[in-house]
């Protein structure tokens, strides 16, 4: 099984600029003028151009909003150097939402992208979370 990640953005060019600059992803191709494929992490990322106010789903009746929002699902990007990754994300337009938290062999900082999506940068001292420091 493979996981792909879809991220709604109100403007495709702005989304491509943020995710390539903030996280070093590579824009590999554009599909139908409103979908951008990005590579450079363990899953393929697709940016989907969806205008603010468009229906979020047929069933919910909710409209898309790009103000800061919360969802129970978010992305964590594992980085080798959290301090330099933080500076790169901020320079690209991310908003830092927490101090660096250390937990079970990891260091984590919470952000939001310019489109309201939350994400974290995580640096592990080993391969993943551990009980040893």
List the domain range (segments joined by +) for residue 2: 1-52
Residues 48 and 72 in one domain: no
Phi, psi for residue 5 in degrees, rounded to 5: -115, 125
Flag whether pLDDT at 132 surpasses 70. Answer: no
5 plus 40 within the same structural domain: yes
Nearest to 77, CA basis, from 132, 22, 32: 22
Please indicate, yes or no, whether residues 80 and 130 belong to a single structural domain of this protein. Answer: yes
60 domain-assigned: no
* Per-residue pLDDT at 58 exceeds 70: yes
Is 129 within a domain?
A: yes
CATH of the domain at 83: 3.10.180.10
pLDDT beyond 70 at 130: yes
- Residues 38-50: what's their mean pLDDT? 96
pLDDT band at 43 (very low <50, low <70, confident <90, very high): very high
Residue 30 inside a domain? The answer is yes
Residues 131 and 72 in one domain: yes
Q: How many domains does the chain have?
A: 2
Burial 6-38 (b: 16+ CB within 10 A, else e): ebbbbbbebbbebbbebbebebeeeeeeeebbb
In this predicted model, what pLDDT tens digit does every residue of 6-20 receive, in sequence order? 999 999 999 999 999
Percent of the chain past pLDDT 70, that is, above it, reads: 98
| Whether residues 72 and 48 fall in one domain | no
Residue 63 maps to a domain: no
pTM: 0.89
- Which residues lie below 8 Å from residue 130, measured CB to CB, with a gap of 6+? 104, 105
Residue 105 lies in a domain: yes
């Amino acid at each position: 099984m493979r996981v792909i990640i879809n991220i709604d953005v109100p403007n495709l060019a702005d989304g491509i600029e943020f995710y390539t600059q903030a996280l070093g992803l590579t824009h590999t191709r554009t599909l139908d003028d409103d979908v951008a494929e990005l590579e450079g992490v363990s899953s393929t990322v697709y940016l989907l151009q969806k205008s603010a106010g468009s229906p979020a789903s047929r069933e919910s009746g909710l409209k898309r909003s790009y103000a800061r929002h919360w969802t129970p699902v978010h992305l964590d990007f594992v980085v080798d150097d959290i301090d330099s990754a933080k500076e790169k994300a901020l320079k690209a337009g991310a908003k830092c939402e927490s101090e660096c938290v250390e937990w079970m062999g990891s260091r984590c900082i919470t952000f939001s992208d310019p489109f309201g999506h939350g994400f974290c940068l995580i640096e592990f001292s080993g391969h993943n979370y551990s009980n040893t420091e």
